[in-house]
Amino acid sequence: METVVSGIRSTGKLHLGNYYGAVQNFIKMQHEYNCFFFIADFHSLTTHPIPKDLHGNVKQVLVEYLACGIDPEKATIYVQSDVPEVTELYLYLNMNAYMGELERSTSFKDKIRDQPDNVNAGLLTYPVLMAADIIIHKATKVPVGKDQEQHLEMSRTFGNRFNRLYQVDYFPEAYAFNYSTNLVKIPGLTGKGKMGKSEGEGNAIFLSDSPEEIRRKVMRAVTDGGPLEMNQAKPDVIQNLFSLLSAVSSADTYTHFDDLYNNCQIRYGDLKKQLAEDMIIFTAPILERINDISSNSEYLRKVSKMGAEKARESASKTIKEVREIIGFKSF
Ligand code: TYM
């Protein structure tokens, strides 16, 4: 059975981008593959979270994984820092990762722009740690959103380089995965690129948002004066709303508003109202489960302990073999 690995950084609440880009696939894949889904708390250190927030953010992602329907009996759910073997593999891979290729990564360039006062080495080697996460379990499929495609390419580079250097056929290649043919990029509501936590207030709809918050954010989404000609191409801000509609609403709803747009009869207020209500219908059961699970500390402890044990078993097997390949021997 093929192995699947994916993770989400512990930077707080999950949004619809995380859901449609990643978690939606996790839920389906857990029935078909040997799955490892983790909370990337090491990765979140690149932005220097204060210790008080770190644990709460890890817990938030764990609770939301479970609330979305990841089943700890089917998939291995764990916290990255509970599996120290990953840092050992990260160290080995770092010896064969080159400055030039790391500096050229799009995510590194974005980070330099976003946090110019904190361009730390962890940011530079972020894709190396990510490769270690993936290949430590010898995964071949990685359910992620479009923004992670380049990281997957780098992961293959590092795994292949290890194989070549030691003349082994040890690490398989892992590819970004989505059930639909294309990887997903869910746009934000403020007209500025993808939905994301760092893209400013009002840009992201969180799974734990209340109905009022969802309505408020959606109704404030940027629009334009409306189409002037029949079948006119949609400008980005309008296309974003239609992309959200296609993710959250039914095909009939999408077609209804698309026809209105093409016939110059669209009223964006109606579209936004419908979009907000569909988002509320979608998130309501998740929100209810988030509230239930977050107070059940006993259950969360059990899940994370069980996941850590299973993940360590798999990771330590790899590390033992990697040490032998590299030439470490005990006296
Ligand atoms: P993070 O926390 O930024 O994002 C988690 C997942 O959510 C997806 N995603 C989106 N998908 C579609 N549209 C969006 N607007 C959107 N925003 C976020 C991301 O593509 C991702 O799948 N580097 C990873 C965490 C990680 C990881 C790994 C993932 C660490 N090690 C190993 C896979 C395998 C990240 O940035 O997550």
- The mean per-residue pLDDT over the stretch 92-100 comes to 97
CA–CA separation, 171 and 156 (whole Å): 9
Is residue 2 exposed (0-12), middle (13-18) or buried (19+ Cβ within 10 Å)?
middle
- Residue at 331 is within a domain: no
Using a 6 Å cutoff on CB, does residue 75 contact ligand 1?
no
Residue 102 in tokens? 């790391």
Give the mean pLDDT of 41-66: 96
DSSP annotation string for 60-119 = HHHHHHHHHT--TTTSEEEEGGG-THHHHHHHHHHTT--HHHHHT-HHHHHHHHH-TT--
Residue 311 has pLDDT above 90, yes or no: yes
For ligand 1, say whether the CB of 124 is within 6 Å of any of its atoms. no
In tens, the pLDDT along 183-238 reads 999 999 988 789 998 777 889 999 999 999 999 999 999 999 999 999 999 999 99
20 & 102 share domain = yes
The count of structural domains within the chain is: 2
CA distance 148 to 159: 17
Q: How far is the CA of 145 from the centre of ligand 1 (A)?
A: 6
Instruction: Assign residue 207 the CATH number of its domain.
Output: 1.10.240.10
End-to-end alpha carbon distance in the chain: 37
Reading the block at residue 165, the tokens are 């250097």
Distance, CA 142 to ligand 1 centroid (Å)?
10
Ligand 1 centre to CA of 148 (Å) is 6
Question: With a 6 A CB cut-off, is 41 part of the ligand 1 pocket?
Answer: no
Position 267 confidence tier, pLDDT thresholds 50, 70, 90: very high
Q: Which domain holds residue 9?
A: 3-177+296-326
In a domain, 184, yes or no: no
The 10s digit of each residue's pLDDT in 272-295 is 999 999 999 999 999 999 999 999
At residue 62, φ and ψ (nearest 5 deg) are -60, -50
3 touches ligand 1 (CB under 6 Å): no
Is the CB of residue 17 below 6 angstroms from any atom belonging to ligand 1? yes
232 and 312 belong to one structural domain: no
Q: What is the ipTM of this complex?
A: 0.99
Q: 4 has which bridge partners?
A: 35, 141
Q: Do 130 and 30 fall within a single domain?
A: yes
Written as one string, the DSSP assignment of 124-138 is HTHHHHHHHHHHTTT
Which residue from 18, 23, 45 has its CB within 8 A of the most atoms of ligand 1, so it is best to mutate? 18
CATH number at residue 29: 3.40.50.620
Render 4-22 in DSSP notation, one character per residue: EEEEEE-SS--BHHHIIII
Look at residue 93 in the predicted model and tell me its pLDDT: 98
Confidence of residue 67 (pLDDT cuts 50, 70, 90): very high
How far is CA 208 from each of CA 196, 200, 289, 294, rounded to the nearest angstrom?
A: 15, 17, 10, 12
Query: Could you tell me what percent of the chain has a pLDDT over 90?
Result: 94
Same domain assignment for residues 110 and 226 = no
- The whole-angstrom separation of Cα 263 and Cα 227 is 9
pLDDT band at residue 181 using 50, 70 and 90 as cut-offs: confident
Verify that 212 and 153 share a domain, yes or no: no
